[in-house]
Every structure is written in C-alpha cells, then in structure tokens.
Amino acid sequence: CQMNHEVYWLIADNESPEYELVMVEYQKCEWWREEEC
C-alpha cells in the first residue's frame, strides 16, 4: 500500500479537519503493508 504525497501533507497538518480520517486510513495502510509485504 502506497500513501500519496497529499496524504502525507494532511497528516503533517494536524489542524486539518481531515486529520482524524487520514490517520485512520494511514494506520490501515500501515497494517496492510505489514500483512502483505
């Protein structure tokens, strides 16, 4: 699973209203990466 650059930007910007949602998606992505790779 690859995270794109915009997602990293959102993660870096804690003030973003999407922050919580992005973190959830990011953690899923990390989990998949560990499981599948």
Tens digits of per-residue pLDDT, 2-34? 556 666 666 666 676 777 777 787 777 766 566
Question: Which has the higher per-residue pLDDT, 35 or 6?
Answer: 6
pTM for the complete prediction?
0.35
Would you list the domain boundaries of the chain? 5-36
**29/2 Cα distance (integer angstroms):** 7
One-letter amino acid for residue 13 of the chain = D
* pLDDT, position 33: 60
Count Cβ atoms within 10 A of the Cβ of residue 29 and give its class: 0-12 exposed, 13-18 middle, 19 or more buried. Answer: middle
Per-residue pLDDT, 37: 44
